C-alpha cells in the first residue's frame, strides 16, 4: 500500500538509533505546510528537535514506522508509543527468552477517527473493522488504530497489537486463545525501575466472575482456533476475557509460568497441536486440578499486579 507524501506524516524509529547512541528525531514544516518527522536532519531547513527517551535496554530488534493519517497525536505520545512497543519486545525477551535473529518490522497507522480507521481496514483486508479498536494486519505487517479522547485505550491497543506482531514473526501456528490471551495480558504491561510489571485487567476479571461457569479448561483448551475466533466475534464474547485472565492467573505463579513458556516454545518450534494435546507433556498435574484452582482464583481477591 502506497501513500502520498502530502497525506501522511512518517516517523522512522529504528533500533539503530538506540544502539548507536542517537536519541533525537527532527520535525520541520515544508513550503506546503506539511509537517515531517525524520531521524536525519535536512540541510538548510529550520528544524525542531524531538528527543527520544532511551530505553534502559540497548536491545531493540524492531523497525517501527509510525504513519499519522491526520490525527492530533503529539510528540510526547509518539515517544510513549516508542517506549511501549520496546516494552513489548523486552517482555518476550526477558520472560520467555525469545531470541530474535531478525528485525521485526511493523508499521503503526494512526487514524483521526473510527470511521476512517474502519474504511482503511475494510480497504486493505476486505473485512469490517466495526467491532474492533485496533488490528494487526498480518499480510502487511501493519497495526491500525484510531485516536479518541481515551488516550490510554489507544496505547493499550497498540501494545495489544504489537504482541501480535511479535507472535506472528516467531510462532506461525499458535492457537487463537493463546495468541489473544497474551495480547490481552500485555495491554497492561509497564516497565518500572527496569522491572517488568503486568497490571490486572479489571474488565477481564469482572467478566470472568460473571462467565466463569461457561466452559471448563478441558473444553476450552480443545476449542479449534477458527471456532474460537467465530465465538469471540459472536455468540461467546467471554472467550477473549477468559484468555486474558487465564494467562494472568498462569503468570502469577513461577511453576505455572514455566508451563506457559514451554507451551509458547512448542508453538515457536512449529507445533500445530491444540493446547489440550500439549497439556499433559508440560503441566505437572491434571487439567481437572488446574480447572479447580482456576475457579478458586476467579472467586478470590487477586493481585493487582505481577512484578518480574
Interval 17-37: pLDDT, tens: 444 444 455 566 767 655 555
In this predicted structure, the answer to whether residue 38 has a pLDDT above a threshold of 60 is: no
pLDDT at 34: 54
Q: Nearest to residue 259, comparing CAs of 188, 197, 178?
A: 178
Query: What percentage of residues in the chain have a pLDDT greater than 70?
Result: 79
Please tell me the distance from the alpha carbon of residue 26 to that of residue 42, in angstroms, as a whole number: 8
pTM (2 d.p.) = 0.80
Minimum mean pLDDT range among 33-37, 107-111, 181-185, 227-231: 33-37
| Greatest mean pLDDT among 48-52, 65-69, 159-163, 278-282 | 159-163
By the 10 Å C-beta count (0-12 exposed, 13-18 middle, 19+ buried), 28 is classed as: middle
pLDDT on residue 28: 63
Place of cell 467478566: 207
Residue among 48, 40, 47, 35 at smallest CA distance from 17: 40
As a whole number, mean pLDDT of residues 264-269 equals 92
Q: What does the DSSP assignment read for 192-248?
A: ETTEEEEE--HHHHHHHHHHTTS--HHHHHT--HHHHHHHHHTT-THHHHHHHHHHH
Q: Which of 13-27, 84-98, 110-124, 275-289 has the lowest mean pLDDT?
A: 13-27
> Taking all residues of the chain, what is their mean pLDDT, rounded to a whole number?
84
Q: What's residue 84's pLDDT?
A: 94
Is the pLDDT at 87 greater than 80? The verdict is: yes
User: How far, CA to CA in Å, does 99 sit from each of 64, 79, 186, 225, 234?
Assistant: 18, 25, 19, 26, 36
| Segment 249-272 mean pLDDT | 94
Alpha carbon distances (Å) from 81 to 20, 72, 149, 273: 20, 14, 16, 34
Q: For the chain, which residues make up each domain, given as ranges?
A: 1-170, 172-308
Residue entry with cell 506482531: 165
In this predicted structure, what is the pLDDT of residue 30?
A: 66
What average pLDDT does the segment 247-259 reach? 95
Q: Tell me the fold of 1-170.
A: Glutaredoxin (3.40.30)
Stretch 99-108: mean pLDDT:
73
Given this model, what pLDDT does residue 214 score? 81
pLDDT band, residue 5 (cuts 50/70/90): very low
Task: Write the pLDDT tens digit of every residue in 191-225.
Answer: 999 999 999 999 999 999 888 778 899 999 999 99
In percent, the amount of the chain with pLDDT more than 90 equals 60
240 vs 38 pLDDT, higher one: 240
Specify the pLDDT at position 233.
85
Residue corresponding to grid cell 499458535? 174
pLDDT score at 169: 87
- In this prediction, residues 122-147 reach a mean pLDDT of 91
At 71 the pLDDT is 93
Stretch 46-62: mean pLDDT, rounded?
54
CA distance 67 to 82: 13
At 10, the pLDDT band (50, 70, 90 cuts) reads very low
| Local confidence band at 103 (pLDDT 50, 70, 90 cut-offs) | low
85 pLDDT more than 80:
yes
Amino acid at each position: 500500500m502506497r501513500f502520498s507524501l502530502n497525506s501522511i506524516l512518517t516517523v522512522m524509529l529504528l533500533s539503530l538509533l538506540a544502539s548507536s547512541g542517537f536519541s533525537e528525531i527532527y520535525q520541520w514544516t515544508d513550503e506546503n505546510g506539511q509537517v515531517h518527522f525524520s531521524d536525519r536532519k535536512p540541510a538548510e531547513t529550520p528544524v525542531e528537535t524531538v528527543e527520544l527517551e532511551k530505553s534502559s535496554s540497548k536491545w531493540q530488534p524492531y523497525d517501527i514506522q509510525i504513519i499519522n493519517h491526520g490525527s492530533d497525536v503529539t510528540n510526547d505520545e509518539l515517544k510513549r508509543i516508542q517506549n511501549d512497543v520496546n516494552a513489548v519486545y523486552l517482555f518476550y525477551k526477558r520472560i520467555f527468552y525469545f531470541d530474535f535473529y531478525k528485525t521485526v518490522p511493523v508499521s503503526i497507522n494512526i487514524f483521526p477517527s473510527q470511521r476512517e480507521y474502519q474504511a482503511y481496514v475494510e480497504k486493505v483486508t476486505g473485512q469490517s473493522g466495526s467491532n474492533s479498536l485496533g488490528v494487526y494486519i498480518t499480510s502487511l505487517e501493519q497495526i491500525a488504530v484510531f485516536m479518541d479522547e481515551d488516550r490510554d485505550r489507544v496505547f493499550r491497543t497498540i501494545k495489544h497489537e504489537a504482541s501480535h506482531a511479535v507472535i506472528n514473526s516467531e510462532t506461525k501456528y499458535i492457537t487463537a486463545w493463546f495468541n489473544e490471551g497474551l495480547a490481552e495480558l500485555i495491554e497492561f504491561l509497564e516497565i518500572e525501575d527496569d522491572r517488568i510489571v503486568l497490571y490486572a485487567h479489571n474488565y477481564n476479571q469482572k467478566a470472568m466472575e460473571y462467565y466463569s461457569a461457561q466452559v471448563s479448561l478441558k473444553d476450552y483448551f480443545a476449542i479449534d482456533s477458527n471456532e474460537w475466533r467465530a465465538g469471540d466475534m459472536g455468540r461467546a464474547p467471554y472467550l477473549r476475557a477468559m484468555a486474558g485472565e487465564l494467562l494472568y492467573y498462569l503468570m502469577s505463579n513461577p511453576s505455572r509460568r514455566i508451563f506457559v513458556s514451554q507451551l509458547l516454545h512448542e508453538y515457536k518450534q512449529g507445533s500445530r497441536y491444540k493446547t489440550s494435546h500439549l497439556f499433559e507433556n508440560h503441566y505437572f498435574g491434571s487439567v481437572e486440578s488446574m480447572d479447580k484452582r482456576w475457579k478458586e482464583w476467579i472467586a478470590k481477591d487477586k493481585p493487582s499486579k505481577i512484578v518480574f
